Structure 1
């Protein structure tokens, strides 16, 4: 493949008319990163000997799982009709948990390449991102990728896309990110269809921060899109939300490696380095302006990500607590959506209550903590935020079952979401059955084509975050795709199920669940613990309770010493006396004895992944 663009990189502060800012939005696995690779090759910014697959996925975990987690912004030159254009391309994640990365990428662009797999068609997450792009009034270029696959059906899915966007099927571009077919045509079309950025060159400088990452050697690297005016090297800048001022040590563009320039002008996307070590001073969504000639108003259009799911993270070894704190602080520098606060558990010791956007976000964060910081962690069952009103009318925010207020409860409100599921028509029944079992109420259903249906449900978030996606995939043989977004809260009949060992509450095993599911949770946890907790010298009852009412019980039988072994025949009364004596001893022991729950039992009982849990418990 010979690069068409042989010109050197366009110098900074290019005329806004020659700039095109666009992002690629698609569902997970539809080939965004591969298409980005071909663009990097065609524009000549990456030399063939440096090229590698998924070039922009820099994190080990991204390459290992084959998914994009962090957005990447790259500047590329492109020759078209005798002029040289500067493209700023933003490669975005496709998974629902990282849609906040997509929302901030859209705020920095004028156009979006809507990428759809020609073998699978449009999926729920793509649809959600398409609506986001339409809200931002971006120019949309529909593209079918993977046309080289034997299973590709470009004509069928081009019609589906045209129906959604309101264009003609022939307007849908057909490309192959793998072979490079059609990619040049796509780059030419970006020049034609994506509008140039608009801004006032002579106005006070205004730039929006759409991402910030932490570099061990250089401090915080802030990625910005300049809206008005210009920013230059060694200039003093001011963050408009915090009022903090810093000196610009370096300003430049990513191409795709960082390249320092003299400044950034209207419409340009680049990075700023101020030497600041605290990423909280470079808040995503904030407006950067010149300290000498500040702007009067901030740039709007970006929403802060709100955590949806909370889980406790505890180190297996208590002495690792400071290491865990430091690791979370460093991760927070690269992940604006992560927030945490210290938490103490009588069973698990010191740890943190961490807020996540969803289960994949939780999994990725935990994996990064274990891989990058060599930590062994226990995570408690994920919880959502409940609003609990007691009989006195006082409202409590509950992110953890241990915060659940005692006494009579007037009302409990739980968060709900609008879920969109796209599925082949033959699986409609299986999907409806699953959603109804998870307390969902149907909002509507539309046929995208003869074979594919979009089903909309309102569901409690608590029912979605645990294993709903796995169940959905298994019931539809992997063909269903899911997207959801928060839509307020509703009153629900929820209860706190507590697990008691020998009458003592074990906070780590408590859960807030719907009254209809409480009995099943109690029975499952009691039988799980019966197998996991070693037998004691005395009988141990395991009970599940709602308030003072016991709903499930299991007994761990006592280990009994054979006190009759020394009796060879003789009078039965001596044997009875020894057994009575043993019985009294057991009774006394039961009164003063406490049950030690081994660490392995906590890991196995709290893990949602049985196989992983057993493996860890064996270690």
Structure 2
């Protein structure tokens, strides 16, 4: 058992793309945790998508042995956290398992919105914060300016900041020493009853669920029976160990340790991130604070391109769920697309990741319907229902009122782009609640706006109008009243259920027109006219027409009386009308994908 005074538990938090994974690589490389033959970039990112996109989706823990300048051998447990706002809860649990945090600031970009929100998250958990200035090798690096921002925006002591270049390995030795000197040792006693926090888990096809834990008090050994305090389930521990990139078994995990346990758990749903583990025979009084159920905020239906592949898609989702407990799904069906699944996601990035993993890892060709949020609907009967699927939207006459989820969006931008960004936020129904100048060049604005408005193209347009300089962070704040309606898309007067959308009534006309225009481009012309309509109830609010393919019946008429020509045209018109009554329009798969495109694509 390692002396708790020689353990340091810390995480790395930062805005997206400030170099967390690269810094993690340098720490691993410097400590020679991995043989040089097996070393590669982004060691803590295991998925191909993470490496290609340069994002961290799943947090990873690594134990690094380090001999400090004072000659003592320390165990440094570090947790690499996701940077994207979709995974804020995972970040909060990783932070709760540490005593300190390295707050990474890009020397060229400076303090951005998620830098602030992650720092506040760390302060809520009483962590010791060590500022680290990364990318000092860049020509655009402004170290004095970044130090001023650390003092002014974050309120941290700039003298503590450690300048490093994670790419070149500059300043890593100084960072190791600063971690040992500044981050406090864990305080719990190994003699007290067991309490440990689950901060992550993953599924192994041979061993079952492998739980990532931080032990606060007590000791956990193989053979003991443990209790999950929120799910009230008991398991027998088979193996304990630590992470040195791969799983390394150990005899026990004691107070202050970060490691893993295997307990023969077959389904990842039984393990909730943020749950507390205790000894079943000698439990603690209550669970550790901060646990909450992760609820999906974005919903979309998934259908296989080929309806015969429904069973394969179900198996793929079941396997994906083993490694991603936050994905929820239930059976769904559509007249147009057949049988599929209604899925819930943490955000739009989470949806994209699931889509890519289904296509890459399970070779599934799938169609996603337009993403939606969950609306709260109050019925005239006094009942209240949550509705995220246009198919389950009640009749307009039964609805008393409706509410939609709102977010608090924090945007930090250079002041010259302020006007453009304010116009964008107003267009997205945002209400400004705060604005403050951080310094002469940068301003922070806070808006409350509907989550549904942020889903589609807000982030892309924000980057466009600010030339990539604005940073964005948000958190869901609750529900506010809205005027909700359901847009039906009709092809030749027949509604296509898979294309229906829930929308704010003020935006319904633009949305319906956009869908109709996209469908007109995708639907192939027939021998008869095809009417594409967008409607709210019985009121048509948008229409496009795909003209018929017509034979030139007047080609044989040269000169002669007009009545003969008219007779031929009337005869053709009757034939087209008869054909329309029996003819069906086939919607190509590309039509469903085209509807999801934004106007700018």
TM-score band by shorter chain is: over 0.9
Moved more, 376-385 or 294-303: 294-303
**Does the aligned pair in 2 maintain the 1:381–1:607 contact within 8 Å?**
no
Normalising to structure 1: TM-score of the pair? Answer: 0.92
Q: CA deviation at 1:562?
A: 5.1
**Does the aligned pair in 1 maintain the 2:519–2:594 contact within 8 Å?**
no
**Does the aligned pair in 1 maintain the 2:514–2:599 contact within 8 Å?**
no
Give the one of 310, 319, 343 matched to 2:308. 319
| Structure 2 CA distance for partners of 1:166 and 1:604, relative to 1, 3 Å | closer
Gap runs ≥5 in structure 1: 1-12, 612-619
Normalising to structure 2: TM-score of the pair? Answer: 0.95
2:297 matches 1:308? yes
* Residue in structure 2 matched with residue 24 of structure 1 by the alignment: 12
What is the alpha-carbon distance in structure 1 between the residues aligned to residue 349 and residue 442 of structure 2?
26
**Does the aligned pair in 1 maintain the 2:436–2:443 contact within 8 Å?**
yes
2:512 matches 1:522? yes
Per-residue displacement from partner, 1:131-185 (whole Å, max 9, x unpaired)? 1111111110011011111111111111111223333322222111122222222
| 1:119-518 superposed matches below 5 A | 119-408=108-397, 409-518=399-508
* Residue in structure 1 matched with residue 91 of structure 2 by the alignment: 102
Residue aligned with 2:313, SS:
helix
Q: CA deviation at 1:276?
A: 2.3
* Residue in structure 2 matched with residue 546 of structure 1 by the alignment: 536
2:22 matches 1:60? no
Total equivalences in the alignment = 599
What is the alpha-carbon distance in structure 1 between the residues aligned to residue 156 and residue 118 of structure 2?
18
**Does the aligned pair in 2 maintain the 1:162–1:172 contact within 8 Å?**
no
Per-residue displacement from partner, 1:560-595 (whole Å, max 9, x unpaired)? 345567889998877665544443333333334332
**Does the aligned pair in 1 maintain the 2:369–2:498 contact within 8 Å?**
yes
Coordinate RMSD, CA, aligned: 2.1
Residue aligned with 1:178, SS:
coil
* Residue in structure 2 matched with residue 615 of structure 1 by the alignment: none
What is the alpha-carbon distance in structure 2 between the residues aligned to residue 575 and residue 581 of structure 1?
10
| Structure 2 CA distance for partners of 1:343 and 1:608, relative to 1, 3 Å | farther
2:62 matches 1:78? no
| 1:3-22 superposed matches below 5 A | 13-22=1-10
**Does the aligned pair in 2 maintain the 1:111–1:140 contact within 8 Å?**
yes
What is the alpha-carbon distance in structure 1 between the residues aligned to residue 112 and residue 206 of structure 2?
40
What is the alpha-carbon distance in structure 2 between the residues aligned to residue 135 and residue 357 of structure 1?
23
What is the alpha-carbon distance in structure 2 between the residues aligned to residue 425 and residue 579 of structure 1?
64
**Does the aligned pair in 2 maintain the 1:380–1:607 contact within 8 Å?**
no
**Does the aligned pair in 2 maintain the 1:385–1:399 contact within 8 Å?**
yes
Residue aligned with 1:165, SS:
coil
Moved more, 360-369 or 492-501: 492-501
Gap runs ≥5 in structure 2: none
**Does the aligned pair in 1 maintain the 2:116–2:154 contact within 8 Å?**
no
Q: CA deviation at 1:410?
A: 2.3
What is the alpha-carbon distance in structure 2 between the residues aligned to residue 118 and residue 124 of structure 1?
15
Moved more, 41-50 or 425-434: 41-50
Moved more, 279-288 or 149-158: 279-288
What is the alpha-carbon distance in structure 2 between the residues aligned to residue 340 and residue 213 of structure 1?
19
**Does the aligned pair in 1 maintain the 2:111–2:153 contact within 8 Å?**
no
Per-residue displacement from partner, 1:394-451 (whole Å, max 9, x unpaired)? 3231102222211323212111000000101111111111111111111111122211
Q: CA deviation at 1:341?
A: 1.4
Residue aligned with 1:485, SS:
strand
* Residue in structure 1 matched with residue 106 of structure 2 by the alignment: 117
Per-residue displacement from partner, 1:219-273 (whole Å, max 9, x unpaired)? 2111111122111123332323333333322210001221111010001110111
Per-residue displacement from partner, 1:509-567 (whole Å, max 9, x unpaired)? 22222222222222222222122112233222211112211112222223334556788
Give the one of 574, 578, 593 matched to 2:583. 593
What is the alpha-carbon distance in structure 1 between the residues aligned to residue 284 and residue 328 of structure 2?
31
**Does the aligned pair in 2 maintain the 1:107–1:302 contact within 8 Å?**
no
Q: CA deviation at 1:325?
A: 1.7
What is the alpha-carbon distance in structure 1 between the residues aligned to residue 599 and residue 276 of structure 2?
43
Q: CA deviation at 1:336?
A: 2.7
What is the alpha-carbon distance in structure 1 between the residues aligned to residue 83 and residue 527 of structure 2?
54
What is the alpha-carbon distance in structure 2 between the residues aligned to residue 468 and residue 30 of structure 1?
22
**Does the aligned pair in 2 maintain the 1:418–1:457 contact within 8 Å?**
yes
What is the alpha-carbon distance in structure 2 between the residues aligned to residue 463 and residue 537 of structure 1?
39
* Residue in structure 2 matched with residue 5 of structure 1 by the alignment: none
Moved more, 516-525 or 577-586: 577-586
**Does the aligned pair in 1 maintain the 2:90–2:273 contact within 8 Å?**
no
Residue aligned with 1:58, SS:
coil
Give the one of 6, 17, 38 matched to 1:50. 38
Per-residue displacement from partner, 1:178-218 (whole Å, max 9, x unpaired)? 22222222222222222222223222222111111011222
Residue aligned with 1:325, SS:
helix
Residue aligned with 1:422, SS:
strand
**Does the aligned pair in 2 maintain the 1:27–1:123 contact within 8 Å?**
yes
Moved more, 130-139 or 522-531: 522-531
What is the alpha-carbon distance in structure 2 between the residues aligned to residue 117 and residue 336 of structure 1?
32
